[in-house]
Structure 1
């Protein structure tokens, strides 16, 4: 075996690569982020949280990593970090404190979503694009049914929620923040 053979094996991509015109996540950016996540998790450091993983983004390039594969890996990392965060809080403050915080967060989400349909979030101007109101309201209703009635809903379903755009739609940052909060609650009560 030559040194070039070992170099090739060491440089094999972690995920499938895109081909042709299809774009994927920038390989070096993903590799760097996942290496930092592994180091933070194995070193038991607090410098990377589940929320940090959820908001991670990478440039799209030709020949990049397959988006779905990376997103699935990031979801597993987020779940592991959330479980570790829960364990630490329970150890320090007790399970009651963790449950009470999850309840308070869930109530805050329910209070926000109690607003009438088509008025649950701030809207963009008529010439600006935002998330489609009917699609966001549909997902919002599913969140309410999960929190209030216990209907099944997974963190992955919320992570993969995608909305088309419309003029005068809901402001993206508000919707995204609420979805993130709902994912936090789902991970907290797993």
Structure 2
């Protein structure tokens, strides 16, 4: 059960917190990342290391008792990622023109669609080690089929549902290699965030 924070996070961000015995996100880490992202986005300090939509999409926080509710932070990060992706697209178009943006999108789309067109069960590697955790092949294929319909038949699909996809577990060669599936889905989310 989430409980409201007693004070807003730095930078006026206000998130719900989990109960005192539950684990949420480390509040200091979340606040620091959001402050850094805001400062970079607003251009307050050009010496700051850049923050990209990829950074927002892949950031992780340590668990902490009584920390921020992960769902509330996740929703804020989704909106922030969209803002960064939009700005990155606008900057690319301003710097190199609309053709450059279309070329970039086209290349990424071609690579992703080529993998989606592989036969079910053969889209991703199978782990070599016997007892390593992997993703259920049928679950992965089901999402891939939905993505094909999104890319080729304009079937509606939320970028958030792809970014938060959950698959049943498998063991070794009975499943798809987790790292390869995760890397692929990260590129799909990148493309969807850019074109939506």
TM-score where L is the length of structure 2: 0.86
1:163 aligns with 2:156: no
Distance in 1 (alpha carbons) for counterparts of 2:62 and 2:126? 28
Distance 1:10 1:170, change over 3 A: closer
Q: Which of 145, 149, 171 is the aligned partner of 2:149?
A: 145
Q: Which of 114, 117, 126 is the aligned partner of 2:117?
A: 114
Moved over 2 A (4+): 8-14
1:87 aligns with 2:110: no
Distance 1:59 1:75, change over 3 A: same
* Distance apart, 1:48 and its partner CA: 0.6
**1:35-65 C-alpha deviation (Å, 9 max, x unpaired):** 1110111117670100111110011121010
Matches within 5 A, 1:1-190: 9=7, 14-43=14-43, 47-124=50-127, 125-168=129-172, 169-190=175-196
What is the SS of the residue equivalent to 2:24? strand
RMSD: 1.9
Structure 2, unpaired ranges of 5+: 1-5
Q: Is the 8 A contact 2:25 2:68 kept in 1?
A: yes
Aligned length: 183
Distance in 1 (alpha carbons) for counterparts of 2:27 and 2:125? 36
Distance 1:11 1:31, change over 3 A: closer
Distance in 2 (alpha carbons) for counterparts of 1:73 and 1:10? 14
Q: Per residue, is there more strand in 1 or in 2? A: 2
Q: Is the 8 A contact 2:8 2:14 kept in 1?
A: no
Distance 1:35 1:112, change over 3 A: same
What is the SS of the residue equivalent to 1:89? helix
Distance in 1 (alpha carbons) for counterparts of 2:77 and 2:55? 10
TM-score where L is the length of structure 1: 0.89
What is the SS of the residue equivalent to 1:151? coil
Distance in 2 (alpha carbons) for counterparts of 1:154 and 1:23? 27
